[in-house]
Structure 1
Amino acid sequence: MSTNSTFEQKKQFLFLFLCGLFLTNALIAEIIGVKIFSVEALLGTAPAQLPLFGTKLDFNMSAGVVNWPVVFITSDIINEYFGKKGVRRISYLTAIFIAYMYIAIYATTSLPPAQFWLEVNSKDSLGNAMNIDGAFNAIFRQGLGIMIGSIIAFLIGQILDVTIFSWLRRRTGSKHIWLRATGSTLFSQLIDSFVVIFIAFYVFGNWSMTQVAQVGSINYIYKGVVALLMTPILYVAHYLIDQYLGKENAHQMANEAAAASFTAV
């Protein structure tokens, strides 16, 4: 097998692996996002009580934030080596799969439960009465507004991220990976953090704009901090890709991806 053929196989595998990582974490984030957890309780600290928009807020976050940072950093890596076209392909495909997932969940929660399943799960671990079918539906069946808001926010966030990343890549060249990756994420998530809540809970729900601003601000603060903390991981990923593809080949891919993105801007 020729050296060029081996490189092409490695390149294809890398793209498939990154797309799989991107897609899997996006879908998991959507599924687990229904759970709200306390960041302060996780860290063992007192409630933050941040004064925002006339009230004091704590860091109560959707569990989906655990996986979304992986999506952000994977998006930047795909952009670095496969350009805007590669990111847009997987972003549109992921949006379609998210919509498909919600349809499948709605169909599943509409199925009549088996009586024995209800009986053997009639009590929780503490012996309290429980309706397992009601719990299943409450966890997995999210509202139409959340679904629409999530998909729209995801696509807007990804389009902004890839555009800003390419804009910064044009001005920084191959240097300052942290700047284009973190900068694009911070800006795109500023929009994403408010769009999903605005559509899901203001347009389709009964939240006020003040509540949207409050919760959106908390979400963005968290995402911004995580984006900064994950910067070293980006450099580790680049190092591993250089080792896998060969440093010269990896740099050539990055330059070609950048050139293709510049012509598309």
Structure 2
Amino acid sequence: MKTNALEFKETRAYLFLTALVICGLAASLITAPKIVHVGINFPFSNIVFSIFTYPIVDCICELWGKPIARQTVWIGLVSQVLFCVLIQLSILAPPAQQWLHQGEYQIILSTGINVVIASLVAFAISQIFDIYVYQKLKEKSLGKQLWLRSNLSTYLGQTIDSILFINIVFYNSNQKMNLILGSITIKIILSFLMTPIVYLIIHSLNRYLDNHTLAFKMEGELHHA
């Protein structure tokens, strides 16, 4: 009975984190074309990515390992494609005569094919690289220095993501290099600020799951070594 209860709690915890990733990916598709200026120029989707994708996938990798983290990436990619298809179908559906906002609706929700391709390619490649680096650093450090592997893997992954995404979406823009530099800068800042949140999530879920996670098991092995 206790095992079943633990499995239920573990499933619920994993689904919650995966839902955050899916939410972040869906929001990034809509917010990607919006360029904001806060001292530097960058797509608003950078904020979404830095909060809801990389740190969360790192938490999943820490708690359940690389295979589950990769599974989350593929779930995220499929959900992103499905979200895009549903949005396009809603745009193509004939509007009622009394509904006069089809033009505005289409402008706001239309996502260019280049944005979709860029988002999928950049996310897949950068996240797989992020998970690989994270796991390697975890093995090298014997489970210690969570802050180092979380930040370093995220910095490298998000740099790849920014270069790929902006080169595909803004390939004709003369501001492309500024956008790449601004994008990388804001992601590094936000990733650094997310470090305490990553610690909080992992610590809280370790307690919630009665320490039945890879993170706790590795910590226990270190204490007994």
- With the length of structure 2 as denominator, give the TM-score of the two structures: 0.89
Stretches of structure 1 that go unaligned for 5 or more consecutive residues are 40-47, 49-58, 119-131, 257-265
Q: Which residue of the partner structure matches residue 17 of structure 2?
A: 18
Measure how far apart 1:254 and its partner are. 5.3
SS in 2 for 1:116: coil
Deviations 1:1-59 (A, max 9, x none): 2x3332222222222221122112221222233333332xxxxxxxx3xxxxxxxxxx2
Alpha-carbon distance between aligned partners in 2 of 1:166 and 1:110, rounded to the nearest angstrom: 43
Alpha-carbon distance between aligned partners in 2 of 1:240 and 1:12, rounded to the nearest angstrom: 15
- With the length of structure 1 as denominator, give the TM-score of the two structures: 0.76
Q: Residues 254, 146 of structure 1: CA spacing in aligned structure 2 closer, same or farther, 3 A cutoff? A: farther
Matched, 1:235 2:178: no
Q: Which residue of the partner structure matches residue 223 of structure 1?
A: 187
| Root-mean-square deviation (Å) | 1.9
Q: Residues 15, 116 of structure 1: CA spacing in aligned structure 2 closer, same or farther, 3 A cutoff? A: same
Query: After superposition, where does 1:1-265 map in structure 2 within 5 Å?
Result: 1=1, 3-39=2-38, 48=39, 59-68=40-49, 69-118=51-100, 132-202=101-171, 206-207=172-173, 211-247=175-211, 249-250=212-213, 255=218
Compare CA radii of gyration and give the structure with the larger one: 1
SS in 1 for 2:99: helix
1:194/1:212 contact within 8 Å kept: no
1:82/1:254 contact within 8 Å kept: no
Q: Residues 254, 154 of structure 1: CA spacing in aligned structure 2 closer, same or farther, 3 A cutoff? A: farther
Measure how far apart 1:71 and its partner are. 1.3
Tell me which of the two structures has the higher relative contact order, counting C-alpha pairs closer than 8 angstroms and 6 or more residues apart.
2
SS in 2 for 1:230: helix
Measure how far apart 1:67 and its partner are. 2.1
Where does structure 1 differ by over 3 angstroms across 4 or more consecutive aligned residues? 250-256
Task: Kindly tell me the number of residue pairs found equivalent between the two proteins.
Answer: 218
Stretches of structure 2 that go unaligned for 5 or more consecutive residues are 220-225
Give 1:191's aligned amino acid: I
Alpha-carbon distance between aligned partners in 2 of 1:153 and 1:172, rounded to the nearest angstrom: 28
